[in-house]
Amino acid sequence: MGKSTATDLLRKRGFPLVDSDDIARQIVEPGQPALAELQRMFGDEIVGADGRLRRDELARRVFADPEARRRLEGLLHPRIRAVWQAQLRSWRATGHQAAVAVIPLLFETDASRHFDATVCVACSAKTQRQRLRARGWTDEQIDQRLAAQWPAEQKMALADYVVWTEGGLVVHEAQLQRIFADPKTGT
């Protein structure tokens, strides 16, 4: 959809930013309790010889089985939420006027209620598929991931702002600029 590009642009502008995808990777590092719990839940095959989570194997299992995906989300989502909420509280306590939390399943997890404003980064279904295929995803993998989330149109309708990423980087950046401009300076 363009989320990674938006994240990079906002980081470059100096916004304090917490990304739930980064948190999700951190909490399943070797030695973390969540990895051991995942291994008990889904079997030894989801952990490689190097002790790291085999994301491809876990994804193969959970995106083919909605109940398995719900169990995974029940284990990880509360931990992920606790980390980003703690980070946002810390920034607020130190006087930051604005911060960004990147949460791909913002509406699906009812996390939007924790924010003053929401931004949906979106593109057409055709462009989304092209971008995912370029990352090496199969049509089956794409279909499974899309089935696990709300349609972009529904998220766009709920968001306070939409960044439409069909244009080039300059257009993408200009949209973010309008949304995140400092009201005092316009920059």
Q: What is the pLDDT of residues 59-91, one digit of tens each?
A: 999 998 999 999 999 999 999 999 999 999 999
Pick the CATH number of 19-97 from 3.40.50.300, 1.20.58.1290, 3.30.420.130, 3.10.180.10: 3.40.50.300
Each domain of the chain, given as residue ranges in start order, spans 1-16+99-187, 19-97
Query: 1-16+99-187 — its CATH code?
Result: 3.40.50.300
Supply the pTM of this predicted model: 0.88
Residues in the chain: 187
pLDDT at 21: 94
Same fold across 1-16+99-187 and 19-97: yes
CA distance 111 to 97: 20
Q: What are phi and psi of 31, to 5 degrees?
A: 90, -15
Here the tokens at position 63 are 């995106």
Token pair 């083919």 is at which residue?
64
Looking at residues 149-165, what average pLDDT do you find? 95
